[in-house]
Structure 1
Amino acid sequence: MPRWEAARESDRESDRAERRGGERRRAAGAGRKAKLVFTDRLLVTLTHLRHDLPHAALAELYRVDRSTVSAAVREVRGLLAERGFAVPTGPRYA
């Protein structure tokens, strides 16, 4: 598991365990695999932020569902903001 995924999981594990009602039942990394590798998620996000392309257009370019692009943008924007990169906020950029 990449370092950023491990950190994300450990930061939220106690919250997740509380919502689940106990510890995880499957090993970390089990379950559905990402349709876009991290570099593609980063590129999708940067393209969206820089050129303001709609998620549907990016989904066509990367041949994935629009919801996959939306999830990638939401995830990577948070990572960029945590590291001090200026990320536009507001309803237009959600």
Structure 2
Amino acid sequence: MTGLTGPDWDALIATLLTLRDQQREAHLDKRRDHRPRMAAPGTGRRPILTLADRLLGTLVHYRFGLPQVAIAALFTVRPETLNRRMRETRQLLQQAGHTIQPSPRRLPTLGALYDLAAVEGLISPSTIEAPC
């Protein structure tokens, strides 16, 4: 589905984590006006979408053309939230020099994604819950 092997996925996630952390620290440093950090790193609210979720949504959108509204429903987030996170992820992918290879197959709906996943043997049709 992603166009990546397991090891390639892991390597890409590791690269994006490093880039995202560097980007975040640079942003926070600028916001603090280059003063030392007062709170311990990693504190705060947990993200709704993990980096892996963001990467998966971005890859599915750009590979298969699945609408962002459908991907947002898949992850149970608002389309605006998904759009913002996909934009950030796309920037990280560009920084990492990773190009998303489009698939010749286009997926217009979540149902088409579920059908493809079932055909590829990624999920069985009985495990698919119909979206609300």
TM-score normalised according to structure 1 size: 0.65
Number of aligned pairs? 86
Gaps of 5+ in 1: 88-94
For 1:64, the equivalent position in structure 2 comes to 77
> What amino acid maps onto 2:60 in structure 1?
T
Question: Is 1:16 equivalent to 2:28 in the alignment?
Answer: yes
In structure 1, how many angstroms separate the alpha carbons of the residues matched to 2:32 and 2:17?
19
Structure 1 residues 78 and 7, CA gap change in structure 2 (3 angstroms): closer
In structure 2, how many angstroms separate the alpha carbons of the residues matched to 1:47 and 1:85?
15
Max Rg structure: 2
> What amino acid maps onto 1:28 in structure 2?
P
For 1:91, the equivalent position in structure 2 comes to none
Kept in 2, the 8 Å contact 1:41–1:76? The answer is yes
- CA deviations on 1:51-88 (whole Å, 9 max, x unpaired) are 2233222111111122331232122212221222225x
Gaps of 5+ in 2: 1-12, 101-132
Question: Is 1:76 equivalent to 2:89 in the alignment?
Answer: yes
For 1:41, the equivalent position in structure 2 comes to 54
Higher relative contact order (CA 8 A, sep 6+): 2
